[in-house]
Amino acid sequence: MTKNTMIGLLFCTLSPLSLLAWGETYEVGQKNKSFTKDKLTIKVGDTVSFKNEDTFFHNVYSLSDAKFFDLGSFPKGESREVVFDTKGTVEVECAIHPTMKMTIEVQ
Amino acid sequence: MKPFIISCCFLLISFNISAQDMSNLVFEAGHPSLSEWILPDQPPYPEGNKPTPPRVTLGKALFFDPRLSGDGNMSCATCHNPLMGWSDGLPTARGFQSKVLDRATPVITNTAYNNLQMWDGRKKSLEDQAMGPMEATVEMNMNIKSLFEWLNSNEEYKAMFAKAYPGEPIAAASLSKAIASFERTVVSNNSRFDRWIKGDASALSKAEIEGFKVFVDPDKGNCAVCHSGNNFTDDGFHNIGLISFGKENPDLGRYAEVPLKLMKGAFKTPTIRDIEYSAPYFHDGSVATLKELIDFYERGGDVKTNLSPNLKKLTLSKTDKENLELFLLSLSSPKKAFLLPILPK
Ligand SMILES: [Cu+2]
């Protein structure tokens, strides 16, 4: 193994870890058919963990340009994480209960 | 007295926050833990369209006027008929020249409390919805240009519009606002259940109260998981497992608006106030009676493809089911005669 490939391998292994180390994780709950935060400001690379605190299923999705995702549906006590990797405004909703809405500002 | 009032307020707040947890509910007439079911008399309305009497009068005339349709024989009330529980009693609607449409006519009753309109929620408000049936070629099939030419040349309508919306042209916006104002008067909140939650202990029987418990209990009826709050709807979208979803090219419902797998075959939770008056049930009109409806939910739906995760097979005793039906029947406001408007010449 050459020195270059060694460095390359090392870089490949470390870079995802270092990304994780840079980003912060924020928690947003889903309780009484609303998100526990209306608005959240985060930085590129940060993670948001959505936690269902109701006794029934919720969904989390966004069709925004800055982040397009669908976390499916999950029950009480479970969380799903999303890493926000692009700057912009992300409108987050629950498809099951469209009155559940929040905004994530990725800076 | 003051501390008592304050502590009552605290009670109300704390009960509201945790009402989904059944253990906090006290099933006694007028108990503060049940306050989330009290429906205000006045539905919300958007800024600039307070439902004043001239607006409601105008909207009522427009709602019942068949001259708003292409063949001059259909009004809003043809399908949203007060004689048929503000729907039409048909499995799915009949449109222009009696064409059979895909979905059931939604009831007007209490629709003013909803956050979204239509079975798929594609309209944001009553104002936003009002022109839809006139414009739809399969429904009222009206030539919109000639509609407004006619309204602008009709002296009586001109006077009514001027009184309701002074300074505004007779156009889609003012017409929609008037119809919406009338629809905001179609309210059901005077049922025996309403009297009971406001404190009249004689308004519900023991069996009906037991039925209410079955309704909210997640381990029994599990009904309140969707039919929640004072208008008995979460304003949400659910695939409840109707047989029609298992057919070829099924109606995908909410998916047309929100293209997520979860929304395939999902439709909006309707209110169940006055449910007695609006059979048959569901957006496809596939269930004829409340008994059949309860059996359907007991099975946990028929087609399990993409079934809402909030639905499950129920374990109900014969008495649970009887009580649940009695409770549903207690949600009817008393029937009263409806006074038709006098239409302009
Ligand atoms: Cu939800």
Please, which residues have CB within 8 angstroms of residue A5's CB and are 6 or more apart in sequence? none
The answer on pLDDT for B31 being more than 70 is yes
The answer on pLDDT for A11 being more than 50 is no
From chain A, which residues contact B within 8 Å (Cβ)? 32-33, 54-57, 59, 61, 63, 70, 72-73, 75, 95-99
Domain boundaries, chain B: 2-41+189-329, 53-183
pLDDT at B137: 94
Whether chain A has a CB inside 8 Å of the CB on B115: the answer is: yes
Of A57, A61, A97, the CB nearest to B260: A61
Alpha carbon distances (Å) from B296 to A72, B287, B312: 25, 9, 11
For range B128-137, the mean pLDDT? 95
Architecture of the B53-183 domain: Orthogonal Bundle (1.10)
* Contact of B23 with B218, CB cutoff 8 Å: no
Interface test with A, best of B258, B261, B263 (most A CBs within 10 A): B258
Fold identical between B2-41+189-329 and B53-183?
Answer: yes
Give the closest-approach CA distance of B291 to chain A in angstroms.
25
Residues of chain B numbered 305-334 and touching chain A (CB < 8 Å): 308-310
Distance A29 CA to ligand 1 centre (A): 11
Whether chain A has a CB inside 8 Å of the CB on B260: the answer is: yes
% of chain B residues with pLDDT over 70: 94
The answer on pLDDT for A2 being more than 50 is no
pLDDT at B22: 80
pLDDT at A18: 45
Torsion of CA B61, B65, B70, B76, to 10 degrees: 80
CB contact (8 A) between residue A99 and residue B235: yes
pLDDT at B152: 98
The answer on pLDDT for B17 being more than 80 is no
Give the closest-approach CA distance of A105 to chain B in angstroms.
22
pLDDT at B20: 52
User: Mean pLDDT for chain B?
Assistant: 93
Which of A82, A40, A79 lies closest to A62, judged by CA?
A: A82
pLDDT at B187: 97
The answer on pLDDT for B170 being more than 90 is yes
Structure tokens at B13: 């707040």
Residue of B nearest to A57 (CA): B310
Structure tokens at B169: 């042209």
% of chain A residues with pLDDT over 90: 79
pLDDT in tens, B64-73: 999 999 999 9
Identify the H or E element spanning A89: strand A88-93
% of chain A residues with pLDDT over 70: 79
Give chain A positions within 8 Å (CB) of B239.
Answer: none
For range B43-52, the mean pLDDT? 97
For range B115-120, the mean pLDDT? 97
Alpha carbon distances (Å) from A79 to A19, B26, B195, B236, B313: 21, 32, 41, 21, 25
Give chain A positions within 8 Å (CB) of B254.
Answer: 95
ipTM above threshold 0.85 = yes
Whether chain A has a CB inside 8 Å of the CB on B237: the answer is: yes
Alpha carbon distances (Å) from B165 to A13, B181, B291, B318: 68, 12, 47, 55
Rounded Cα distance, B144 and B134, in Å: 8
* Contact of A79 with A50, CB cutoff 8 Å: yes
Residues, CB within 5 angstroms of ligand 1 (ion): A 58, 94, 96-97, 100
Give the closest-approach CA distance of A64 to chain B in angstroms.
12
Rounded Cα distance, B171 and B175, in Å: 6
CB contact (8 A) between residue A96 and residue B115: no
Stated pTM of the model: 0.89
First-last CA distance in chain A: 41
pLDDT at B299: 97
CA B264 to chain centroid, in Å, comes to 22
Give the closest-approach CA distance of B337 to chain A in angstroms.
35
Residues of B marked active site are found at 139
pLDDT in tens, B260-281: 999 999 999 999 999 999 999 9
Which of B9, B16, B127, B136 lies closest to B69, judged by CA?
A: B136
* Contact of B271 with B110, CB cutoff 8 Å: yes
pLDDT at B3: 39
CB contact (8 A) between residue B115 and residue A98: yes
Domain B2-41+189-329 in CATH: superfamily?
Answer: Cytochrome c-like domain (1.10.760.10)
Whether chain A has a CB inside 8 Å of the CB on B261: the answer is: yes
